[in-house]
């Protein structure tokens, strides 16, 4: 018998029906010519599948998740080899390593890749995301309320103000944006984010040229994650499983889905600082107050590994600190059935937050019709890329919410994790062009604790409390007068007292297909 083996068949385990498991099939025939014919036809079918990647750059974080990064890559690397996928593997050795590498790539080098894969956690993915987009995403800054006063640069000659329906829209240019990521940190720990919190090093970003070959969004370049971090919220929200083999098979088979990205522009790092717009991108979450303080406090307990988040979270909760701030968000009639709660607070009325008044939740799944309806043809052509990722709102209105907040958060996706099975916002979608703005007003500690514990219960509704505002919005602006205002961007510390944020619809493609039912 003449035989050959087909690797990559997929089955499912009996104990857990969702994770994918690779298997092998042996084909044989007594006639060698027949056997070769089968083999050649199978190879021709595989080679004709245009979605399958052929060249990938892989970044491995050696210390994330107590050293799981290298081990997980060694587990899945043979699968890529069998699939004849070329991989350039880079084991990161410092903060900013992946960012520096991607920023220094020429467009010709990037064009030769089918995608970039992160073997690590949400922080490493955030670094790769910023390295890819920092000099290649051409779009205006987020819209801001009329009178906000910042137009993208101290040099007025480089700024173009556009007023549309009461919105300030300003174009970002490479010279007016501080897109440097610090990269001199030599600290080694199991904290998956690689971006240092030290002072910027003045990394020079290549300027955009007219013959730019790579721009976003596009329909060919994809990002992937082999989950190895502490929470892996992005993987859980986009695949439903925290399994390295499943994620590797999704990459090998060339699965594709669009993912919204939050563009965060810091106008001022402190109330007394100069106006210097600094752009960051986040794939899962941007949080202030409780969320930012937990990340900052955890820096003091790095030696504890992932357990430091429990300790720092408890300490921040016991302080029960609230922050005076102003938040303005874009309200659209068809997307904000509960938007009146913000104005009710300003006027002193009680907000309408109850299970009966909350709309029916539509959970994002594979082939989600909500994300498909939100997609636009412009995403499929790089010639129509300029503003295709901007969510167009008819008759938008700015709504201000002022007061003392325990936390301000914006979820791009559901942010599922093992401790919050439904995530922060169960019905957040992966590619609908909206952020879920969560404003948690000051309240008694026991009520806040009750709110937090609801996240750990599947099927609960932690956003139904009267001190919680939940707004679905394409953009918002935040202003605080605190000297040490800290944001949490995908687990990264970002000091800012004035920011504007917008959802960039389907800005990147991911090797995923959405959570399965």
455 versus 170: the higher-pLDDT residue is 455
DSSP 191: -
Band of the pLDDT at 157, cuts 50, 70, 90? very low
User: Percentage helix, strand, coil, to 5, in the chain?
Assistant: 30, 30, 45
Model's pTM, two decimal places?
0.82
pLDDT at 13: 64
How is residue 18 written in tokens? 């969702």
State how far the Cα of 79 lies from the Cα of 85, in Å rounded to an integer: 9
Query: Hey, how many other C-beta atoms are within 10 angstroms of the C-beta on 181?
Result: 23
84 versus 201: the higher-pLDDT residue is 84
Residues assigned a catalytic role: 122
HEC string of 146-157 equals CCCCCCCCCCHH
195 versus 267: the higher-pLDDT residue is 267
Indicate whether 502 pLDDT > 80: yes
CA distances 50 to 45, 114, 116, 220, Å, are 10, 11, 17, 10
HEC string of 46-105 equals HHCCCCCCCEEEEEECCCHHHHHHHHHHHHHHHHHHHCCCEEEEEECCCCCHHHHHHHHC
**CB-based burial of residue 218 (10 Å sphere; 0-12 exposed, 13-18 middle, 19+ buried)?**
middle
Of all residues in the chain, the percent with pLDDT exceeding 70 is 75
HEC string of 461-513 equals CCCCCCCEEEEEECEEEEEECCCCCEEEECCEEEECCEEEEEEEEEEEEECCC
pLDDT digits (tens, 9 = 90+) for 309-360: 888 889 999 999 999 999 999 987 655 444 444 444 443 333 334 434 556 7
Band of the pLDDT at 396, cuts 50, 70, 90? confident
| Nearest CA among 180, 175, 177, 151 for reference residue 163 | 151
State how far the Cα of 300 lies from the Cα of 316, in Å rounded to an integer: 13
């Amino acid at each position: 018998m003449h035989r050959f083996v087909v690797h990559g068949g997929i089955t499912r385990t009996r104990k857990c029906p969702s994770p994918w498991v690779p298997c092998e099939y042996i084909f044989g025939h007594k006639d060698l010519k027949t056997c070769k014919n089968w083999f050649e036809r199978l190879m021709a079918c595989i080679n004709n599948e245009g979605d399958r990647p052929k060249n990938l750059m892989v970044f491995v974080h050696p210390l994330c998740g107590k050293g799981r990064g290298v081990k997980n890559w060694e587990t899945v690397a043979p699968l890529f080899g069998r699939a004849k996928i070329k991989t350039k593997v880079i084991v990161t050795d410092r903060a900013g390593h992946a960012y520096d590498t991607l920023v220094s790539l020429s467009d010709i080098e990037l064009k030769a890749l089918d995608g970039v894969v992160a073997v690590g956690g949400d922080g490493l993915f955030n670094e790769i995301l910023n390295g890819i987009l920092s000099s290649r995403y051409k779009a205006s800054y987020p819209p801001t309320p009329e009178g906000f006063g910042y137009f993208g640069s101290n040099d007025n000659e480089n700024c173009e103000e556009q007023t549309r329906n009461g919105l300030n829209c300003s174009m970002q240019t490479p010279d007016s944006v501080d897109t440097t990521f610090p990269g001199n940190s030599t600290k080694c720990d199991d904290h998956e984010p690689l971006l240092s919190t030290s002072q910027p090093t003045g990394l020079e970003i290549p300027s955009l040229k007219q013959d730019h070959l790579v721009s976003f969004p596009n329909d060919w370049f994809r990002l992937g994650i082999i989950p190895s971090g502490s929470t892996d919220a992005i993987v859980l929200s986009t695949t439903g499983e925290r399994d390295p083999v499943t994620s590797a098979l999704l990459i090998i088979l060339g699965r594709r889905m669009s993912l919204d990205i939050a563009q965060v522009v810091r106008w001022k790092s402190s109330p007394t600082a100069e106006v210097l717009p600094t752009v960051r991108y986040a794939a899962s979450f941007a949080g202030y107050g409780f969320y930012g303080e937990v990340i900052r406090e955890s820096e003091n307990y790095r030696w504890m590994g992932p357990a430091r988040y429990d300790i720092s979270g408890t300490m921040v909760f016991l302080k029960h600190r609230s922050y005076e701030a102003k938040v303005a968000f874009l309200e659209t009639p068809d997307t904000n059935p509960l938007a009146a709660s913000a104005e009710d607070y300003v006027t002193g009325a009680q907000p309408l937050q109850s299970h009966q008044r909350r709309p029916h939740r539509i959970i994002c799944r594979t082939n989600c019709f909500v994300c498909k309806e939100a997609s636009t043809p412009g995403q499929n052509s790089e010639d129509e890329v300029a503003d295709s990722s901007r969510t167009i709102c008819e008759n938008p209105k700015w709504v201000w919410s002022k007061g003392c907040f325990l936390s301000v958060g914006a979820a791009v996706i559901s942010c599922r994790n093992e401790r919050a099975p439904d995530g922060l916002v169960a019905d957040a979608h992966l590619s609908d062009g909206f952020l879920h703005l969560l404003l948690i007003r000051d309240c008694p500690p026991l009520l806040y604790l009750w709110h937090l514990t609801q996240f750990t219960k599947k099927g609960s509704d932690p956003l139904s409390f009267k001190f919680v505002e939940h707004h679905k919005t394409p953009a918002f602006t935040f202003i605080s007068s605190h000297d040490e205002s800290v944001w949490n961007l995908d687990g990264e510390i970002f000091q800012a007292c004035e920011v504007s944020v917008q959802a960039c619809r389907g800005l990147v493609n991911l090797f995923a297909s959405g959570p399965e039912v």
